[in-house]
Amino acid sequence: MILEQLADYARIRAKQAKFVMPEARLRARAESLPRGNFRFEKALAGKEMAFICEVKKASPSKGIIDPTFDYLSIALQYEEAGADCLSVLTEPKWFLGSDDIFRAIRTVTDLPMIRKDFTVDPYQIYEAKVMGADAVLLICALLDTDTLREYLTLCDELGLSALVEAHDESELASAVEAGARLIGVNNRNLKDFTVDLQNAARLREKAPENIVFVAESGIASPQDAKKLRQAGADAALVGEYLMRASDKELALAGLREATK
């Protein structure tokens, strides 16, 4: 399964990175930085519908999405269009992302940013803090409840938000039990990459009212965004639809208008 391959490769990457920068040194660097103020999750709360706009070159299901991939221009277009937050892929093998891309985008925008990767080691959370991330992604399919709780505690200590991603009811229950404040429901099944836009709507009914609820993946039109807003989503993470749009400002404006 592709998700298991992504996780295995993430473990290899973390292990290799530790030879370059030992974990104790990286942790000391991360802890020496000012504690974050959870601005990523704050940017998504209390609005009609917030939008996390994703910067990615490729995906396992779609292959190359943007051959040119002028990621600095894309990030600035999103900011100009009124994005609430940015999601930047750093997974290098299947998504063709990198930490360097994230760091470069961090230098040109002050928007809250999530490091979108497959977190399987605390080391990656320290990496995210050091590279200027405001949030990390934690995937329930890869982390049991106790590990989720441990990683959430670490994020809290560093002032990072954690977008805890669930795909089904049992994963949602695990996220809630671990204490997640920001829960994303992926409409794409990462095990076979099928998309069901109703997945977020179904699970919203099962989620606590007081969490920030993010609908992820599968948004292909303003009508899709409207349905998710009507189902109770506080925010949407939009990738391919915006990445393929020639006029990103117009595309995001259309999504926003549909969710008012």
Q: DSSP letter at 217?
A: S
Looking at 127, 187, 217, 240, which residue is catalytic?
217
Left if phi > 0, otherwise alpha if psi is -120 to 50, otherwise beta: which for 32? alpha
Task: Please choose, from the candidates 166, 199, 206, the residue with its C-alpha nearest in 3D space to the C-alpha of residue 182.
Answer: 166
Both tokens assigned to 42: 């704050």
The yes-or-no answer on residue 186 being catalytic is yes
- What distance in Å separates the CA atoms of residue 134 and residue 254, rounded to the nearest whole number? 27
- Integer Cα distance of 132 and 139 in angstroms: 21
Active site residue 165: yes
Catalytic residue among 41, 91, 127, 165: 165
- 199 labelled catalytic: no
Question: Which one from 41, 57, 59, 116 is the annotated catalytic residue?
Answer: 116
Phi, psi of 156 (to 5 degrees): -60, -40
Select which of 91, 216, 240, 248 is catalytic. Answer: 216
SS3 195: strand
- Catalytic option among 161, 186, 187, 199: 186
Determine whether 116 is an active site residue: yes
54, 91, 127, 171: which one is catalytic? 54
Radius of gyration from C-alpha coordinates of the chain: 17
Phi, psi (deg, nearest 5) at residue 232:
110, 10
Distance from C-alpha of 69 to C-alpha of 55, rounded to nearest angstrom: 9
Catalytic-residue membership of 91: no
Q: Catalogue the active-site residues.
A: 54, 56, 116, 165, 186, 216-217
